[in-house]
Amino acid sequence: MAGTGGVADGEPGGGVSDDDKAGSPVPDAHHAAEAPSYAHLKSAVIREPGLDDRGSVFFAAIEMTRMPMILTDPRRPDNPIVFANRAFQDLTGYAESELIGRNCRFLQGPETSRETVAELRRAVEERRAIATEILNYKRDGSPFWNGIFIGPVFDAAGEIVYFFASQLDVTRRRVSEQAFRQAQKMEAIGQLTAGLAHDFNNLLQVVSGNLELARGSVTGERTQRQLANAAGAAERGAKLTKQLLSFARKARLEPRSLNLNALVLNLAEVAESTLGSTVSIRLDLTPRLPAVTLDRTNLEMALLNVLINARDAMPAGGTVTISTASVHLDGTGEARTLPPGDYVALRIRDEGEGMPPHVAERATEPFFSTKGPGKGTGLGLAMAHGFVQQSRGRLEIESRRKTGEGAGGTTITMLFPAGSGAAVEDEPAEQTAVLRRGDETVLLVEDSDDVRALAREYLDSLGYHVLSARDGTEALRILERGERIDLLFSDIVMPGSVNGLILAERAQALRPNLPVLLTTDYNEDLVADGPTVPTMDVLGKPYRKAELADRIRAALDRGVRPMPAPGEPHHG
């Protein structure tokens, strides 16, 4: 048969096993030498070719089975289908009258592998069996993965009379395998990205910090302008690393109860000016949504990134629709990988050209972009995807290519776990950074020499007395000496067996009244359990002098806060 799901001239197929390549299955002594358990997989021999007598028990069984089966006749021009059982008709959606007399290639479509088709064609020409999987299309145009076996049928004289093909819809398995491979790839990329972003953030801390100090010590207008330009570039680099960490699901989140509708309304005005006059925003917000517990800043950044992508997908302009809805998952949804329960959906739909499947599949990879040079970093959807996953949700992409017959466009859906009750949250008041000073003793713990030197210079200039350590072990030795220490200021990610979390726990065991301020750009121990209310003071890197001054003073004035149980040490 010319293939199942399309075999024409021997079409569709691919992925051939060594057994399938074992030579031409003509009935002769060669077959007698094969193991009996495999011989029947190569070919079959019949005494009475013909399909006229369909009253036998064997025809009844074939019609009753749920395994789709067909026969093609290679003696006729173009190897047409001469028999298709009911299961095959159910699988493809075609009636028997629409199948008989046609070559199987009509089941192929735009995404069918040409290599698989060529392999099937060769198998038919060589009169050998083949087993493979191919993407075919049903009568309604929907694609499905077809696992097929094709084998030749000979008469008693050794002449080929039919090709037999059995089929199996393996779409669900293929989708699951593809999702698993994609998840593995994204996890590997995320680990690499997080490591690079961590190192890069330490460098940015040194660059931006020393630029800040230099700007305070020079007066020339030209030099000030040059330093300001350099500081701006360092700040853009810091934003880039935040996006990378969001993609890697290692960003430091500060979740709070949010009213999603209120956030969308507040952001719509900013978005309108960002998207330009050719793009209009339409809101479709479901009232009385349950609260969501999310990091507001990261959520706004994710929404803006998706909106910018929607704008770029509509160069001639159009409408972007932002909608919200309550969603209940009962655990039966395919490939959603979310536990059953109530969720809140945030959807952004554009009227653009849409994405082909191979682009949509890679859309959330960092630095993958179909835009021209200088028109984007390729991090927008990657950041949004990482943030949603870190928030125990899921980002879904549905895209339809625009055709002459219908509209196209892309819908990005962000699903977040619903909280209990409705959220009422006031907009956080803007606070002006004030350079707050002190004269207490601070134990500074930082493994990077450059970052430690910068932090020490900051603290010295603010009036504090500073003791410094290169790692947690050295810091514990200082704590055990018994001299006065008013605050522990430590990085979280440090090499060795004592990271910042373990150090903080042991320090408070040695000195129960010792306040602790931690700093990090990311830390798996802090985000592994998803978004929870913070129970410790954490200052994000890179930080400015005014931010450090404020957080040091606040930690000293507030005193001790409870520390969570530390996780495994992280080597960073």
The tokens for 210 are 């020393």
The more confident residue out of 24 and 364 is: 364
What pLDDT shows up at residue 538?
Answer: 81
320-334, 387-401, 499-513, range with greatest mean pLDDT: 499-513
- Reported as a single tens digit per residue, the pLDDT across 166-178 is 988 988 888 777 7
At the top level of CATH, the class of 57-174 is: alpha beta
- The band of 240, judged by pLDDT with boundaries at 50, 70 and 90, is low
Over residues 223-248, mean pLDDT = 68
- Reported as a single tens digit per residue, the pLDDT across 422-465 is 444 444 444 444 567 888 999 999 988 888 888 898 898 889 99
Rounding to the nearest 10 degrees, give the CA dihedral for residues 216, 220, 226, 232: 40
- Please give the backbone phi and psi of residue 480, each rounded to the nearest 5 degrees, phi first: -75, -15
Instruction: Determine the 3-state secondary structure of 507 from DSSP.
Output: helix
Q: Is the pLDDT of residue 393 over 80?
A: yes
CA-CA distance, 487 to 470, in Å (whole number)? 16
Tell me what percent of the residues of the chain surpass a pLDDT of 90.
20
Q: Domain spanning 441-560 has what CATH number?
A: 3.40.50.2300
Give the position of tokens 């005193």.
559
Instruction: Determine the 3-state secondary structure of 114 from DSSP.
Output: helix
- Reported as a single tens digit per residue, the pLDDT across 76-119 is 999 999 999 999 999 999 999 999 999 988 899 888 889 999 99
- Reported as a single tens digit per residue, the pLDDT across 15-53 is 333 333 333 334 443 333 344 444 455 666 666 666 766
Q: Is the pLDDT of residue 466 over 90?
A: yes
Question: Domains of the chain: which residue ranges?
Answer: 57-174, 183-248, 256-330+340-417, 441-560
At the top level of CATH, the class of 256-330+340-417 is: alpha beta
What pLDDT shows up at residue 296?
Answer: 81
| The one-letter amino acid at 231 | A
Q: Is the pLDDT of residue 378 over 60?
A: no
- The band of 310, judged by pLDDT with boundaries at 50, 70 and 90, is confident
- Reported as a single tens digit per residue, the pLDDT across 403-418 is 666 577 899 999 999 9
User: How big is the chain, counted in residues?
Assistant: 572
Matching fold, domains 57-174 and 256-330+340-417: no
